[in-house]
Chains A and B, each alone.
Chain A
Amino acid sequence: MIYAITIYGEPGVFEALPKGRQDDVMSRHSALQDALKNRGAFVSMKLMPPTSAVMVEPARNDSAAPLIVDGPFAETKENFLGFYAADFKDLDEALEYAKMISSPIARLEVRPVAWAGGALSSD
């Protein structure tokens, strides 16, 4: 089963941490990435800040085009900051890996996902 480890938190808190703490967080991510790489394929994505997003609202009717909305967006307390996805034996295993990047500035959600196709290269 593919599980996604999704990361939620308040944008900007990481940036406000002292350099040493930031390095702590990043080294946990590196450790997780190394561990996942050793097992096989995985993806990890860090989302750009929500403020750089543009929304496509559904068209109001058949003859209308979808509406592009630049903001303002609702001020949400927690934002979707990034995710990992990889094939895990079961939920327990996915949780073990998720624990590697647990920190007080982020809330993690481990959630099964179904593969829906695609290919992506980091090059």
Chain B
Amino acid sequence: MSDWLEATFTEQRPRAIAALTRVFRDIDLAEEAFAEACVKALTVWGTDGAPRDPLAWLLTTARNAGLDHLRKSQRRAAILSRHSEEFQPMPAETPDPDELRDDVLRLLFICCHPELDRQDQIAVALRVILGLSVAEIASGFLIKPKTMEQRITRAKRKIAENPVAFETPTPQERGVRLSEVSLMIYLMFNEGWSTSSGPVQMKLTLCEEAIRLARLLVRLFPAMGEQSALLALLLLQHARRHARIDGDGKLVTLDDQDRSLWDRSNIAEAMALLQKAQRINHRGIYIIQATIAAAHASAATSDKTDWALIESHYAALYALQPTPVVRLNQVAAQAKLHGPHFAINALETLTEDLSTYRWFHAMRGGLLQEIGDHRAAIKAFETVLTLTPTAPERAAVTDKIAISQKELSHL
């Protein structure tokens, strides 16, 4: 029975913590109060069954638990003096959806606090909003739980010292918050999808939790094309998780993946979301990236990929986001359209900007191998090995070096 209840708490947590944070103006107290309400729910729902509106029940109970804490604690005076008028008995009804929407967005935005570095923002979001344990988060980032605990505590202190405004945001502020929060979710997924370095390629917990947050945003803002597209993009990438690493733990490139291993239900949902997003708005960084991912997902085989479409979308993305990494991806599509010689020349202009970016050297090595310049290819692959690749990448690159060496020995 408790599994079902736990799942309900997990689902309600982001909205409950968000509303409680507005009530108490204090994240720690909101978390404590919610935890207490869940403990109470375990007994009450366990005997009487779950209420029709679990969120309202949890909020009422948590609010009372939090007030109880305040009465007993030292913090009472400080917090009560800030907003005593709000501590009136609250009826057990579902909170106003618009208010709740701003509450959740605010809480997400609080986690994106500019004083925190990106990894700490993600860690705080995982802890506070999604309710992962410190140990789970630590293993997600492959660091010691003790260290993670200290980092989260420090991050929360910084947040408390520079509070975010609790007034209802203006439409402009809401837009800024939404794009900042979307970027954090995107980067959380990326950290899970292509680990910066280490023994594993993917940290699926981070990917799954990023998808949960993206779902939450779409639920709050169903008419925003970019947020639907962000969720579509993450689902399309995530769909390939089982095909990306082979049985020997080696990274498999998109061209060589067994497409029957792609998760069709993820892809179907993503396509529905993307079609909706494209209806709403046609230009945005997530819509373009999701369109590219969808072109890959809908190609039955690597040969049937619509590279011209993909190339033109990278060109559009480059117009919005002129970064060397976007340009690199565009060149990768051009390599398919115009051949490896063309692409090797196009890469020249990126040499300086991407000298420490291992994917640049990996791609260059692959292209050089294709035209038979094995000496240069080996050099490029060896550069990859100096740039802290993950273990699955290292295995794949080592294989490629061996192939080129074999070719050279035949000459």
Contacts and interface: CB of A to CB of B under 8 A. Distances in A.
Interface of A: 10-18, 21, 48-54, 68-75, 77-78, 103-105
22 contacts: A10-B8, A10-B11, A11-B219, A12-B212, A13-B4, A15-B212, A16-B6, A18-B3, A49-B269, A51-B222, A52-B273, A52-B276, A53-B222, A54-B279, A68-B279, A70-B223, A72-B97, A72-B220, A77-B52, A77-B55, A77-B94, A105-B8
Interface centre among B1, B4, B50, B101 (most CB of A within 10 A): B4
Contacts, number: 82
Contact of A48 (B94, B219, B221, B269): B269
A52 to B, nearest CB: 4
B77 interface: no
A104 B50 contact: yes
A70 B223 CA distance: 5
Nearest to B13: A16
A53 B276 CA distance: 8
Contacts of B1: 104
A77 B269 CA distance: 22
A10 B55 CA distance: 11
Given A52-B272, A75-B100, A13 B8 contact: yes
- Secondary structure at the A interface, as helix, strand, loop or mixed, is loop
B53 interface: yes
Interface residues of B, number: 34
Interface in B29-59: 50, 52-55
Nearest to A17: B7
Interface in B1-18: 1, 3-4, 6-8, 10-11
Interface of B: 1, 3-4, 6-8, 10-11, 50, 52-55, 94, 97, 100-101, 212, 215, 218-223, 228, 231, 268-269, 272-273, 276, 279-280
B50 A71 contact: no
B215 A51 contact: yes
Contacts of B10: 16
A99 B6 CA distance: 23
Contact of B3 (A17, A51, A71, A73): A17
